[in-house]
């Protein structure tokens, strides 16, 4: 995932992926068939990781699952790999309908999963999706999210007001 997060679908080399995995380039092609299929598999892994976080946080905090899920998501993206991969996927989706369809389906399934785990309605889920997108953007910009997204947004506003 890191190679695609850092270099994107078109620029990442399968050799770099193979080296990172500790296998040969032909083996990667035997497993996935193409670089795009490997990229889509990375998106599937991303979805699985998000699903695990949602499930875990909902189980630990059943009375208030959505705030816990959002906090878990912030932790998941802290190392930048998830953010990088998602932003690269969105960039690739602009010119690759297969990637775009995969991304749309991924978001839909994550929303369905979050809704089932939390009993949240459509409006709450839209708000959670919007907050997730904001957190990804703030993380990509190198903002400190340790105090939450609102504190990060406030620090941006304050920095602009003093400049």
pLDDT (tens digit, 9 = 90+) per residue, 118-159?
999 999 999 999 999 999 999 999 998 888 888 989 999 898
Q: Please, which pLDDT band fits residue 161 given cuts at 50, 70 and 90?
A: confident
| pLDDT 10s digits, 11-62 | 999 999 999 999 999 999 999 999 999 999 999 999 999 999 999 999 999 9
Q: Helical H runs in the chain?
A: 2-11, 14-21, 25-32, 35-60, 65-76, 81-93, 97-118, 122-140, 149-162
Q: pTM of the prediction?
A: 0.91
- Per-residue pLDDT, 147: 86
């Amino acid at each position: 995932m890191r190679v695609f997060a850092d270099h994107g679908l078109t620029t990442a080399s399968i050799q770099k992926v193979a080296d990172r995995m500790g296998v040969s380039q032909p083996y990667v092609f035997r497993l996935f068939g193409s670089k795009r299929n490997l990229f889509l598999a990375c998106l599937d892994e991303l979805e699985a990781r998000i699903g695990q976080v949602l499930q875990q946080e909902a189980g630990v905090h059943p009375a208030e699952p959505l705030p816990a899920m959002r906090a878990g998501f912030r932790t998941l993206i802290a190392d930048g790999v998830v953010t990088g991969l998602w932003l690269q996927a969105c960039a690739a989706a602009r010119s690759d309908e297969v990637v775009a369809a995969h991304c749309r389906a991924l978001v839909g399934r994550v929303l369905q999963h979050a809704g089932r785990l939390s009993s949240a309605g459509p409006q709450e889920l839209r708000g959670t999706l919007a907050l997730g997108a904001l957190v990804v953007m703030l993380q990509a910009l190198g903002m400190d999210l340790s105090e939450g997204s609102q504190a990060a947004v406030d620090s941006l506003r304050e920095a602009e007001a003093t400049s």
